[in-house]
Chains A and B, each alone.
Chain A
Amino acid sequence: DAKTTQPPSMDCAEGRAANLPCNHSTISGNEYVYWYRQIHSQGPQYIIHGLKNNETNEMASLIITEDRKSSTLILPHATLRDTAVYYCIVRVAEIKAAGNKLTFGGGTRVLVKP
């Protein structure tokens, strides 16, 4: 799986949009971009994923550049409960016996401030 690079930390004001960048310059054509978050010491929580089109769900939006070498996770109206470590992970999507694991990096520690 391709490696990702994220800033180690960022602050965000409550109610404002939080834009979390991720670089994945070595991404392959069959690899998706996944975002997870981990609140305190809880289990990681799936947020969103995408291949090349922008995606939106009830939690967030994912913007992937045309060359797919970077992406941005957008939390449209950050709340205090969005304080967490956010992980950008690149991974092939098809089910195979091997290669289905998630490789977590250090992520971005997001602190939402009142």
Chain B
Amino acid sequence: EPEVTQTPSHQVTQMGQEVILRCVPISNHLYFYWYRQILGQKVEFLVSFYNNEISEKSEIFDDQFSVERPDGSNFTLKIRSTKLEDSAMYFCASSGVTGVYGYTFGSGTRLTVV
């Protein structure tokens, strides 16, 4: 079964550093998303991406965050200057042409900011 692949599985970074979280969505999917989950809290939407541009973003997704699809396969989330409160699991997801069916989520990257 096709999978969404995320790397790395765990990243530790110092406060103020830039991090890039990487995702390889399912190959024929056109819609891409990032979600995050702070330990013990709900899964929160960050951003959706379609046709090489952001289609929707949440209040969390401020100027410190950016997304990119640099080539035909990767989808990245960059945090420019990490803060302690950015520590969370970050999940990438993708969905196909018809939005009726569910997303496929990756297994996540655990980001720890120290």
Contacts and interface: CB of A to CB of B under 8 A. Distances in A.
Interface extent on A, as a size class? 20 to 34
Nearest to A44: B105
A95 B97 contact: yes
B78 to A, nearest CB: 20
A63 to B, nearest CB: 18
A98 B33 CA distance: 12
Given A98-B56, A101-B56, A43 B101 contact: no
B108 A42 contact: yes
Instruction: Report which residue of B37, B45, B99 has the largest number of chain A beta carbons within 10 angstroms of its beta carbon.
Output: B99
A57 to B, nearest CB: 11
Interface string B89-110: 1010101011111111111101
Interface residues of B, number: 31
A43 B56 contact: no
B52 interface: no
B48 interface: yes
Given A41-B89, A43-B93, A97-B55, A102 B42 contact: no
Nearest to A95: B99
Contacts of A87: 43
Given A42-B108, A43-B93, A43-B108, A102 B100 contact: no
Given A95-B98, A98-B56, 7 more contacts: A41-B89, A43-B91, A43-B108, A100-B56, A100-B99, A104-B42, A106-B42
21 contacts: A38-B43, A41-B108, A42-B108, A43-B105, A44-B103, A46-B101, A46-B104, A49-B102, A93-B100, A95-B31, A95-B98, A95-B99, A96-B99, A97-B50, A97-B55, A97-B56, A99-B56, A101-B45, A101-B58, A103-B45, A104-B43
Interface of B: 4, 31, 33, 35, 37, 42-45, 48, 50, 55-56, 58, 89, 91, 93, 95, 97-108, 110
